[in-house]
Amino acid sequence: MSSPKQHSNRLRPLGIAVVAIICGTILILSLPFLQAQDKPVIAIKGGTVLTMAGETIEGGTVVMWEGKIVAVGKQVSIPEGAQIIDATGKYVMPGIIDAMTYYGVRPFALNDRANPITPENKVILAYYPFGRMMHGEKGIVKDKEILSGGVTTVYIAPGDQQVIGGQGAVVKTYGADYEAFTLREPAAIDMCIGDPPKQEMTYIGARPPLTRMGIATLLRKTLLGAQQFDKKIKDYEEKTDEEKEKMPPPPRNLGMEAVIKLLDKDIPARIESDFVDDIRTAIRICDEFDVDLIVDSGLGAYKVKDILAEKNIPVVLGTPTHPFVQGGEVSMSPDLYREMNDYNAAELHKAGVKLALGSFSFAFGGFGYATSGRWLLIEAAYLTGFDVSDEDALKMITINAAQILGVDNRVGSLEKGKDADVIILDGYPLNIKTWVDQVFIDGESVYRKEGGPK
Amino acid sequence: MSIIKKVVLFSFVIALLTAMSLFSVNPTEAIALKGALVHTVAGPPIENATILIEDGKIVAIGQNVSIPTGAKIIDATGKSIIPGLIDNHSHMGAYVPNDLNEMPQPIGPENRAIDALHMSTPDWDEAVKGGVTTIVTGPGSGERMGGQSVTIKTFGKDLETRILKESGELKMAINGINLSHIPTIHSNFLKAREYLEKWKKYESGDKKGPPPPRDLAMEALAKALKGEEVVRVHIMWANDIMSFLKLKDEFGFELQFIHAPEAWKVADEIAKRNVPVICMPIELAINVPESLLRGIVTLHKAGVKLAMHSDHPVSPQKWFRINASMAIRYGLPKEEALKAVTINPAEMAKVDDRVGSIAKGKDADLIVLDGPWYEATTPVDLVFVDGVIAYDRQQDKKLSEEDL
């Protein structure tokens, strides 16, 4: 009777040989790639490609290499040796963009409560990409949070409890090094006009603002201060070298330097305001100082749709099903219910206002929830029930969001030369039963649904 | 009838009324109001008069007015018509979301009520029902200098057309007797005078060198010093009134007093300096000995120009008219009381070119009453704002009958 041990002993030399041959073959086959590139060529074949750049391609192919999209189309030659992903019967579209979140920032760190005006604060410095939601870790992650919703790019903002919270940033939802995953920083300066930054009149000596008047005055003073600071610097720079030696340069001021970027129109002001009256105030102040404006949340924006369209002011709407609509303002002021209108997005769109959707959701480590951000596709689908076309709804979470955030040169659509942020869905994107199968960021597969493509 | 049915019917009626009111917003249509006793305020009352409204303006008033064909004729026989009421000091729109007082900033003349204006509160509709068509609404009295008010109509197509004056009327307040209140205001006016001098020097010179740095607060006060803005003071005691009159003597700004229950004690001093008083008879009747109500007549006899205010929400905007009635009860002549709620506040807010009386060329803001205008029992039948029916009691009555 031969023991199993003996049996295995007899087979061992053969096994080693087989393993050696397989390894050798793989090594030889992959040599050209190892020499030429870090990332392989990936071709997603056969799916319905929603490029968001105009046309939809039935049975199209998307080729990605070195983190970029190198070809999109029906007749695309796939390089030899490319990794081919069969997406027949599936939908391929650009990664979803959430135009307004508080992701990755400790909720307590969102606001500098002692100070109403902190334009010098940078949200990117408080951003923590290693939590459960944010996937700083390399490799395929198993948690099904933001990536499982196909969200690949987000705007992160400081909180809304201050009049000027600080500088926001546009980041990708994957990666550990903020220099690598940041698309634009600063992308805007975040402000709020409305109830959130107001202090309760609990004790004498509370810091301003207590009222909307105070908010407006603080904004005006800050912008005026920046104008004067800018002038001081320019006056100094115009001096001759001799004069410069005699007198010191004006002292630096990080906050004012940031606000000057607004005045120079390098970045826009993003003002969160829900009541139409507050939106008007935002427009009034930005007009006074000639500053670009993006209205955030904008529950009552449809009441001034023509003004917004005429002045080319985009609106980042809160998602329709958010439990507090957003920012908690509705629960704070019953009057805000009068402002709400399910057709807000449709009315604004018809008037010609550029729109994006923002989840305004929090997510940090194990805390908080990213639900509304995760289901951004379903939020967009909800809008299509209220006079928004499917295409427009999808644009609000892809190319339009990218344009509003000023990152449309890199993300937002499937076009040659753009970042390879691609998602594969197992059905029509706006169907309730559709799931995201696979997510690529910079050409790297960062998420796969269990049971999805291997 | 079940509650659900009632609710459904009620909402239907509201929807219908909304639709009807939207339909009636058609200012291009000519309207003729016929047969009423018209208190024009611009002149003596006209009996059996006809008012012709076109494009939101009054185009003719008199006993012999030819009505163009196609004009909508409203029979107002037996009724009286007065101009839309003007409340010279209110906090409507800023009170509800608590945007009145920027407490941590006691000197904030640069604050502007327009930035805090809240248009979706139901108070605006209530004001229209009471016949109040224009209000000056502004910051509260929690600070020494609260900010600037906005003059606005209570009804209209959109905010742009409703606003008569976006900012002005620097609101200040002296609360009770406090050692620091007058000196704080005094020193800020001194600062503003220096600021103004600096700018005048810069502008009258050849504008060499850098301009003086802008300061929003000083800019606002400098406007008062230049006579472009009015200073309005919430004030209570006679000694504070005297102190403020002396500030006026020193700086020469245009001054108006609000509340001022003790103004009558220094009526001559006030009259001498041409300072109008914006009073609130309802408040006086509630808060102070009744005898002080007679002070309003004292002021009038001394030659002080009077206006009235509701200080909404201190007294409801809707019942603003009762202020004039109370003043009449304590001896103010009827025509003076009417002026105090129409043309006088319009002049004080510098919007009398558009509102405040029934005259050719003015905005068609008027109210039709079913009886003498000053009686508390007289209901408001119709309210016109810019020639549009903003309130119709017939429709309101129908609503309440359905509701019951």
Note the pLDDT tens digit of each residue in B122-177. 889 989 999 999 999 999 888 899 999 999 999 998 888 999 999 889 999 997 66
Kindly indicate the confidence band of residue A138, based on its pLDDT and cuts at 50, 70 and 90: very low
First to last CA, chain A: 43
| CB within 8 Å: B115 and A333 | no
Rounded Cα distance between B77 and B301, Å, is 35
Query: Which of A201, A212, A285 has the most B C-beta neighbours within 10 Å, making it the best mutation to test the interface with B?
Result: A212
Q: Which residues pair with B163 in a beta bridge?
A: B152
Establish if B94 touches chain A: CB-CB under 8 angstroms: yes
Please, are residues B351 and B139 in contact by the beta-carbon 8 Å criterion?
no
Q: How far is CA B395 from CA A410, B389, B402, in A?
A: 59, 11, 11
A192 chain-B contacts, CB cut-off 8 A: none
Closest partner CB to A224 (pick from B101, B114, B216) = B216
Residue B189 has pLDDT above 70, yes or no: yes
| CB within 8 Å: B117 and A277 | yes
The dihedral over CA atoms of A225, A231, A235, A237, expressed in degrees to the nearest 10, equals: 100
Residue of B nearest to A274 (CA): B118
Establish if B104 touches chain A: CB-CB under 8 angstroms: yes
Residue A192 has pLDDT above 90, yes or no: yes
Tell me the mean pLDDT in the region B252-275: 94
Query: Which of B14, B101, B111, B219 has the most A C-beta neighbours within 10 Å, making it the best mutation to test the interface with A?
Result: B111
Nearest CA-CA partner of B79 in B41, B40, B45, B36: B36
Residues 6+ apart with CB under 8 A from B187: none
Kindly indicate the confidence band of residue A140, based on its pLDDT and cuts at 50, 70 and 90: very low
| CB within 8 Å: A211 and B102 | yes
Interface of A with B in 303-322 (CB under 8 A): none
pLDDT digits (tens, 9 = 90+) for A248-274: 889 999 999 999 999 999 999 999 998
| CB within 8 Å: B120 and A339 | yes
What pLDDT was estimated at residue B61? Answer: 95
CA distance A374 to chain B (A): 33
Please, are residues A207 and A114 in contact by the beta-carbon 8 Å criterion?
yes
What pLDDT was estimated at residue B23? Answer: 46
B112 chain-A contacts, CB cut-off 8 A: 213, 216-217
Q: How far is CA B179 from CA A198, B185, B240, B254, B261, in A?
A: 30, 12, 11, 24, 20
Establish if A225 touches chain B: CB-CB under 8 angstroms: no
Residue A186 has pLDDT above 90, yes or no: yes
DSSP conformational letter for A412: S
Establish if B120 touches chain A: CB-CB under 8 angstroms: yes
| Amino acid at the residue A96 | I
Nearest CA-CA partner of A267 in A282, A252, A286: A286
Tell me the mean pLDDT in the region B56-81: 93
Tell me the mean pLDDT in the region A310-332: 74
CA distance B331 to chain A (A): 40
- Tell me the residue ranges of DSSP E strands in A158-292: 164-172, 182-192, 269-273
Kindly indicate the confidence band of residue B315, based on its pLDDT and cuts at 50, 70 and 90: confident
What pLDDT was estimated at residue B367? Answer: 96
Largest CA distance in chain B: 81
What pLDDT was estimated at residue A106? Answer: 77
Residue of A nearest to B99 (CA): A211
A210 chain-B contacts, CB cut-off 8 A: 98, 101-104
Ramachandran region of residue A416, left (φ > 0), alpha (ψ -120 to 50) or beta? beta
Tell me the mean pLDDT in the region A103-126: 86
Rounded Cα distance between B261 and B279, Å, is 7
First to last CA, chain B: 11
Q: What are phi and psi for residue A257, nearest 5 degrees? A: -60, -35
Residues 6+ apart with CB under 8 A from B173: B140, B141, B142, B143, B144, B146, B233, B234, B235
Kindly indicate the confidence band of residue B243, based on its pLDDT and cuts at 50, 70 and 90: very high
A284 chain-B contacts, CB cut-off 8 A: 114-115
The tokens describing B51, both together, are 């008012």
Kindly indicate the confidence band of residue B98, based on its pLDDT and cuts at 50, 70 and 90: confident
A27 vs A220, residue with greater confidence: A220
pLDDT digits (tens, 9 = 90+) for A31-52: 444 444 556 899 999 999 999 9
Residue B208 has pLDDT above 60, yes or no: yes
A277 chain-B contacts, CB cut-off 8 A: 116-120
What pLDDT was estimated at residue A70? Answer: 95
| CB within 8 Å: B113 and A281 | no
Task: For chains A and B, count residue pairs whose Cβ atoms are closer than 8 Å.
Answer: 99
| CB within 8 Å: A284 and B114 | yes
| Percent over 70 (pLDDT), chain B | 88
A275 chain-B contacts, CB cut-off 8 A: 118, 120
Residue of B nearest to A277 (CA): B118
DSSP conformational letter for A29: H
Q: Which residues pair with A167 in a beta bridge?
A: A122, A189
Nearest CA-CA partner of B145 in A355, A213, A31, A226: A213
What pLDDT was estimated at residue B349? Answer: 94
Residue of B nearest to A283 (CA): B115
| Percent over 70 (pLDDT), chain A | 81
- Sheet of A151-156: strand order equals A355-358, A315-318, A293-297, A269-273, A182-192, A164-172, A151-156, A96-103, A362-363
pLDDT digits (tens, 9 = 90+) for A6-31: 444 455 555 565 555 665 555 555 54
What pLDDT was estimated at residue A133? Answer: 53
Q: How far is CA B264 from CA B237, B267, B326, in A?
A: 10, 5, 17
Kindly indicate the confidence band of residue B207, based on its pLDDT and cuts at 50, 70 and 90: confident
pLDDT digits (tens, 9 = 90+) for B38-65: 999 999 999 999 999 999 999 999 999 9
CA distance A334 to chain B (A): 10
Residues 6+ apart with CB under 8 A from B224: B170, B192, B230, B231, B251, B253, B254
B123 chain-A contacts, CB cut-off 8 A: none
The dihedral over CA atoms of B368, B374, B380, B381, expressed in degrees to the nearest 10, equals: -40
What pLDDT was estimated at residue A331? Answer: 58
B23 vs B88, residue with greater confidence: B88
Query: Which of B101, B120, B158 has the most A C-beta neighbours within 10 Å, making it the best mutation to test the interface with A?
Result: B120
State pTM to two decimals: 0.84
Q: How far is CA B157 from CA B114, B149, B163, B167, B389, in A?
A: 18, 21, 11, 20, 12
pLDDT digits (tens, 9 = 90+) for A279-288: 999 999 999 9
Kindly indicate the confidence band of residue B305, based on its pLDDT and cuts at 50, 70 and 90: very high
CA distance A209 to chain B (A): 6
Q: How far is CA B268 from CA A300, B232, B302, in A?
A: 51, 19, 6
| Amino acid at the residue A363 | A
Kindly indicate the confidence band of residue A454, based on its pLDDT and cuts at 50, 70 and 90: very low
The tokens describing B256, both together, are 């108006």
Tell me the mean pLDDT in the region B312-341: 91
What pLDDT was estimated at residue A5? Answer: 44
Average pLDDT, chain A: 84
Residue A94 has pLDDT above 50, yes or no: yes
Using CA of residue A324, residue A328, residue A329, residue A331, what is the dihedral sign? positive
Tell me the mean pLDDT in the region B325-329: 91
The tokens describing A418, both together, are 């753009």
Tell me the mean pLDDT in the region A327-340: 66
pLDDT digits (tens, 9 = 90+) for B368-384: 999 999 998 899 999 99
A214 chain-B contacts, CB cut-off 8 A: 102, 104-105, 108, 111
Establish if B214 touches chain A: CB-CB under 8 angstroms: yes
Establish if B216 touches chain A: CB-CB under 8 angstroms: yes
What pLDDT was estimated at residue B399? Answer: 58
Q: Is A332 exposed, middle or buried, given 0-12, 13-18 or 19+ CB atoms closer than 10 A?
A: middle
Tell me the mean pLDDT in the region A417-423: 96
